[in-house]
């Protein structure tokens, strides 16, 4: 419901801008007394309005793309996601069995491995399998958040050429209307405006899309490598939190079962004894 309100508010703002811009286009020399579409002509301010509208969308897309590229460069790094010094500090706390300090540190630290360990430590009262499950859920959630932060670049990279195509179609319409105004025999300069607008829109659409798609591909791969490496380290650290009693019990059961089976195999089979001869 909130998204629908935002979309309606944006559409209303665009419509209001178009209505307010109509007098300015008319004051600039547009002939508003010309027939509308279907008779043979369109007012020039209609083409100008659509032209500025598409260019405005491309301008917003380019600004958003630059902001997202800078954000990816700043945050999609190992020093931000899983700093090596944080990993070493966690390793020292676990090896020193300082569980209270480990709990306090992971509850405040917002890095990838710390948050994964914190999710596991909170389930410590439910034993090791529950801890491992909580860590896996945290790893999946954090990985999705990292990839979700990069996804808008992919969206802009796909929308940019479509906006450029919209402007290209608009420019071709302008060229054909100019041809119609000249009775089907226009001069090159009569078509140059529409064709130039079509090419400029195509250029701006590709100019917005190409950098976003390139940066998205590079940082998507980089984020995948960092997340995979961090997940392996987090699971390794979790193994250091495994209760010793459970492992000892498992080892004892394994030794006991192996010893019982070996004793059964090594026990000699009973040898049948000869029967005593009956006295005559």
Please check whether residue 251 lies inside any domain of the structure: no
Share of the chain above pLDDT 70, in %: 71
Please check whether residue 32 lies inside any domain of the structure: no
- pLDDT averaged over the chain? 77
> Which pLDDT score is estimated for 240?
87
More confident call, 101 vs 279: 101
Token pair in block for residue 187: 């001069």
Q: Give per-residue pLDDT as tens, 174-233.
A: 888 888 777 777 788 778 888 888 888 999 999 999 999 999 999 999 999 999 999 999
Share of the chain above pLDDT 90, in %: 48
Contact (CB, 8 A) for 153 and 220: no
38: left (phi over 0), alpha (psi -120 to 50) or beta: left
pLDDT band at 118; cut points 50, 70, 90: very high
Instruction: Determine what percent of the chain falls in helix, strand and coil, rounding each to the nearest 5.
Output: 80, 0, 20
What's the CA gap between 195 and 186, in Å, rounded? 13
* Look-up of token digits 């140059």: 192
Token pair in block for residue 237: 């650290």
Domain that holds residue 222: 41-242
Please give the average per-residue pLDDT across 258-262, as a whole number. Answer: 45
* Look-up of token digits 């019990």: 249
At residue 47, the 3 state secondary structure works out as helix
> Which pLDDT score is estimated for 174?
85
- How many separate domains does the chain show? 1
> Which pLDDT score is estimated for 220?
94
For residue 76, what is the DSSP state? S
Q: Give per-residue pLDDT as tens, 219-230.
A: 999 999 999 999
Q: Give per-residue pLDDT as tens, 100-117.
A: 999 999 999 999 999 999
Q: Give per-residue pLDDT as tens, 142-156.
A: 999 999 999 999 999
Contact (CB, 8 A) for 171 and 241: no
Please check whether residue 236 lies inside any domain of the structure: yes
Please check whether residue 31 lies inside any domain of the structure: no
Please check whether residue 183 lies inside any domain of the structure: yes
Please check whether residue 271 lies inside any domain of the structure: no
Q: Give per-residue pLDDT as tens, 18-34.
A: 444 444 333 344 343 33
Please check whether residue 276 lies inside any domain of the structure: no
Please give the average per-residue pLDDT across 145-170, as a whole number. Answer: 93
Residues with Cβ < 8 Å from 209, sequence gap 6 or more? Answer: 156, 157, 158, 159, 160, 161, 164
Q: Give per-residue pLDDT as tens, 87-103.
A: 999 999 999 889 899 99
> Which pLDDT score is estimated for 41?
58
Please check whether residue 102 lies inside any domain of the structure: yes
What's the pTM value of the predicted model, to 2 decimals?
0.67
């Amino acid at each position: 419901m909130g998204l629908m309100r935002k979309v309606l508010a944006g559409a209303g703002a665009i419509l209001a801008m178009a209505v307010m811009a109509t007098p300015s286009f008319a004051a600039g020399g547009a002939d508003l007394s010309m027939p509308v579409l279907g008779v043979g002509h369109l007012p020039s301010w209609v083409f100008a309005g659509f032209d500025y509208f598409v260019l405005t969308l491309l301008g917003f897309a380019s600004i958003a793309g630059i902001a997202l590229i800078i954000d990816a460069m700043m945050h999609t790094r190992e020093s931000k996601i899983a700093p090596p010094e944080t990993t070493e500090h966690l390793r020292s706390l676990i090896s020193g069995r300082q569980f209270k300090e480990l709990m306090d540190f992971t509850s405040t630290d917002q890095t990838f491995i710390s948050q994964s360990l914190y999710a596991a430590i909170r389930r410590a009262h439910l034993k090791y399998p529950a801890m491992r499950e909580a860590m896996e859920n945290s790893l999946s959630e954090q990985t999705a958040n990292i990839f979700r932060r990069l996804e808008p670049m992919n969206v802009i990279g796909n929308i940019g050429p479509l906006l450029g195509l919209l402007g290209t179609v608009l420019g071709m319409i302008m060229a054909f209307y100019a041809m119609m105004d000249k009775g089907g025999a226009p001069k090159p300069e009569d078509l140059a405006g529409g064709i130039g607008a079509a090419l400029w829109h195509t250029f701006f659409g590709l100019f917005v899309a190409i950098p976003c798609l390139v940066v998205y591909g590079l940082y998507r791969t980089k984020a995948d490598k960092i997340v995979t490496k961090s997940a392996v380290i987090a699971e390794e650290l979790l193994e250091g939190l495994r209760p010793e009693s459970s492992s000892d019990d498992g080892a004892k059961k394994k030794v006991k079962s192996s010893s019982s089976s070996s004793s059964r195999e090594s026990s000699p089979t009973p040898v049948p004894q000869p029967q005593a001869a009956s006295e005559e």
